[in-house]
Structure 1
Amino acid sequence: MKIGILKEPKGEARVALLPEAVKTLLSWGTEVIVESGAGQGSFVSDGTYETTGATIAPREAILTTADMICCIQSLSTSEISQMKSSAVLLAQMGALYNLDLTKFLLEEKRTAFSMELVPRTTRAQSMDVLSSMATVSGYKAALLAASSLPRFFPMFMTAAGSITPARVLVIGAGVAGLQAIATAKRLGATVYAFDVRRAAKEEVLSIGAKFIDVEGAKEDKGAGGYAVEQSEEYIQKQKDTIHEHAQKADAIITTAQIPGRKAPLLVEERTVLAMKPGSVIIDLAASSGGNCALSQPDQTIEINGVRIFGVDNLATQLPQDASKMYGKNYLNFLKLIIKDGAIHLNFEDDIVLGTCVCHAGEAKSPRVAQILNQS
């Protein structure tokens, strides 16, 4: 069995599997071929891959000969068409919203796994790439906020006088939010956090932040730990509360997202206009619609002295550790579908089933099947 590792597109410095992960794959009785330059963004040379036992090959050769293709960003339909009909594709395809690609995979009777579909269960935690990359993004978001402010994060007592700590508001206390809170606290800021999930309150308080309560949130135990859509009355109440706290904040970090849906709008234009000049907003949800009304994906804009960073894929800015974490997630998942050096798909396993976009012309993931039925 031949596993191919591809170089990611421009702007993506991570690689799906580092040499240490390749070494593990080879111990399972597989052959690994790596596209030349695949590890360059993570400061790993082709020679390092070759030292572990991998073969370096051009992209076309990998696409046309590999039994399994591993990458982070999804491939184009033209590249998927070059793959062997029996080959398995593993990537983050955005299968719940990139429906044109999902339908193409179905029509072509391809076998594809989209890693953002890994179930949010205890057993699947070690395979959850979204959580791993959210950890990296939350950490980097706090650093970006600190480096972008025209003032210090921590309190200082100096001969020139006292400097009060920066005030940071984190919206969304999932994995990214909690890491942003923890990092901002370590940097010395005073941190406030908001989340619609009551379960998040204890976690926020445990790492030293102050929790902002807005009563009346709707929760769903079957949502896998994610927030769910709220009533119009509650949404307006939370916007008003955020507006009040935002006026006092030096930095806002937003991380609130709902899988398969547009990100909830939580920071209105009026809120941005009411913020202090020199303050910043780091919107980690910019690519899915944005938590801030004025944020633009992959752009930094300034409104009334407030800088808004519409950041997407902050994890690629820490490629070495991000790739290491991503590769570990991949290996833990691959253990489920590689047996004795060959591909073995057991759809009775809830993780294999839940992550599989399609196989033999059939949508396997219940979440994908539901979205397709609604489209």
Structure 2
Amino acid sequence: MKVLILNEGLEQQGHTEKRCAVSPSSVKRMVKRGMTVVMQQGAGVLSGYADTEFTEAGAMVVEDAGAALEETDALLCVNRPAEAVYARLKPAALVIGHIDPFFQQELVESLAAKKLTTLSVEMIPRSSRAQKMDALSSQASLAGYVMVMQAATHLPGILPMMMTPSGTIKPAKVYIIGAGVAGLQAIATAKRLGANVLAYDTRPVVAEQVESLGGKFLKIDLGETGQTKDGYAKELTEEQKQKQQDAQRDAIADSDIVITTAQLFGRRPPQLISKDTLALMRPGSVVVDMAATSGGNVEGSEAGKVVTVNGVTVIGTGNWSQAVAKDATDMYANNVYNLLDEFFDDESKQFNLNLEDEILAGCVITHDGQITNDMLTNAYQGA
């Protein structure tokens, strides 16, 4: 099995990717299993890994990966590949990466038309067996940490209580909306930095997790809520959304930092904070909108930018885990390796594409000229 990793740090599709789909450690394990690993020069530089580290691990590093594309069995990506890349792959080649399939219908249809087998890491089921492959969770955990650090950098004050000869500085108040993987890591990080942390989630079941990290849980009676079988929050009704916003207004107005992490799987995120609510916050307060690049939880946030709205700094830079690209690469590389390892056949030295397996049935979205995921086909038909 010939595996190819391109240099995604080169300017592609409007952004520069700092992460890499493999690490020297994962390459070493792949080679040991019998895979041939080819890498484009500089693929790991922005994540802190020199080409020599990959060659020492057993990879072949090439300056021009063009020729290797046509012989590749599996293309490992962090982000979705450009047309100039996937157009050169042979039929039945495997493409693994963050495809963003619900919002990339044209791309998914093109990948199917090329008869490529596409595995979208976002679609990996959240099951016990698939946990070691769950790239969304690993990157979201880092995002939670990064969002707190960015907020602390922009806040014109400190997070912990500090007793000084001139008086006592009270701890900052941090309010976190959403207690999924990213939210829980944000809670833990803010607590470690000494802040008072309040959190809210539509799923009352996570209150215990919030409190175990030292945060307080804001209770709002919205009636019947819950979560999907994959652990995602269910979408609220319009009445519930309004009730939620009204109940949170005081908590937001009283906070120095607010971090929103509400995202709905396969759908646009809900707007949680209006400009009118931002106006209630103290000047210099900071709001971090995790969902800014996919639609936004905060009115006035801008994808990829830090802006000021009604005196409040609103951070919507996105690509959070890239701020800690080395650790993000290590975690993603492990997720990808675990996926390959789970389905690698030692006799044929190939990826065993068993579409009856529950993991592959969920995350393989194109195969043999067809879009194979029912959730996607239903979403496209309803678009």
**1:23 aligned residue:** 28
How far 1:52 moved relative to its partner?
1.2
The residue type paired with residue 2 of structure 1 is: K
The Cα offsets for residues 261-282 of structure 1, whole Å up to 9 and x where unpaired, read as 1111001110111110010011
Q: Match of 1:239, as an amino acid? A: Q
Deviation string, structure 1 residues 66-85 (Cα, Å, up to 9, x no partner): 11100101111232111112
Give the residue type in structure 1 aligned to 2:272: L
Q: Which residue of 2 aligns with 1:360?
A: 368
> Partners in 1 of 2:22 and 2:251 — Cα distance?
42
Going from structure 1 to structure 2, the CA distance change for 1:323 and 1:217 (only over 3 Å counts) comes to farther
Deviations 1:234-278 (A, max 9, x none): 100111122211111000111100011111100111011111001
Contact 2:273 2:299 in 1 (8 A): yes
Aligned partner of residue 255 in structure 2, secondary structure: coil
What does residue 243 of structure 1 align with?
Answer: 249
- Tell me whether 1:40 sits opposite 2:45 in the alignment: yes
Work out whether residues 218 and 230 of structure 1, in 8 Å CA contact, stay in contact via their aligned partners in 2. Answer: no
Instruction: Give the AA of the match of 2:355.
Output: F
1:170 partner letter: I
Q: Does residue 301 of structure 1 match 2:307?
A: yes
**Cα distance between partner residues in 1 of 2:80 and 2:148:** 28
* Aligned ranges 1:222-371 → 2 under 5 Å: 222-340=228-346, 341-371=349-379
Q: What are the within-5 Å matches in structure 2 for residues 1-375 of structure 1?
A: 1-9=1-9, 10=11, 11-57=16-62, 58-340=64-346, 341-375=349-383
Q: Give TM-score, length-normalised by structure 2.
A: 0.95
Matched AA of 1:229:
E
Cα-Cα RMSD: 1.3
Letter of the 1:6 partner, please give it. L
Taking a change above 3 Å as real, the CA distance of residues 91 and 26 of structure 1, as seen in their structure-2 partners, is: same
Looking at structure 2, the residues matched to 66 and 259 of structure 1 have their Cα atoms a distance apart, in angstroms, of 31
- The 10-residue stretch of structure 1 (10-19 or 284-293) with the greater mean CA deviation from structure 2: 10-19
Structure 2 vs 1, CA of residues 372 and 90 (structure 1 numbering), >3 Å: closer, same or farther?
A: same
Question: CA deviation digits over 1:15-67, x for unaligned, max 9?
Answer: 01011100111111111000100000011111111111110122312322211
Q: Distance in 2 between matches of 1:130 and 1:177?
A: 13
Contact 1:7–1:71 under 8 Å retained in 2: no
Deviation at 1:173, TM superposition (A): 0.4
Provide closer, same or farther for how the CA distance between residues 226 and 203 of structure 1 changes in structure 2, counting only shifts above 3 A.
same
Structure 2: gaps spanning 5 or more residues = none
Shift of 1:220: 4.7
Structure 1 position 184, deviation (Å): 0.1
Rounded to whole Å, the distance in 2 between the matches of 1:46 and 1:31 is 16
- Aligned with 1:139: secondary structure? helix
Runs of 4+ in 1 over 4 A off after TM superposition: none
* Structure 1 residue identity aligned to 2:23: L
Per-residue CA deviation, residues 207-251 of structure 1 (Å, 9 max, x unaligned), is 111111111254355441111111111100111122211111000
* C-alpha displacement of 1:132: 0.2
Residue identity in the other structure for 2:79: Q
Letter in 1 for 2:106: D
Inter-partner Cα distance in structure 2 for 1:162 and 1:365: 58
CA contact (8 A) 2:94 2:116 kept: yes
Residues 37 and 217 of structure 1: CA distance in aligned 2, closer, same or farther (over 3 Å): farther
Number of residue pairs aligned between Structure 1 and Structure 2: 375
> CA deviation digits over 1:105-129, x for unaligned, max 9?
1222211101011011111111110
In the alignment, the residues of structure 1 paired with residue 144 and residue 224 of structure 2 have an alpha-carbon distance, to the nearest angstrom, of 25
Measured in 2, the distance between the counterparts of 1:318 and 1:152 equals 22
User: Following the alignment from structure 1 to structure 2, what is the Cα–Cα distance between the partners of residues 220 and 255?
Assistant: 17
Q: Which amino acid aligns with 2:47?
A: S
5+ unaligned residues in a row in structure 1: which ranges?
none
Q: Secondary structure at the match of 1:260?
A: coil
The more displaced of 72-81 and 217-226 is: 217-226
SS at match of 1:122: coil
What is the distance in 1 between the residues matched to 2:310 and 2:167? Answer: 29
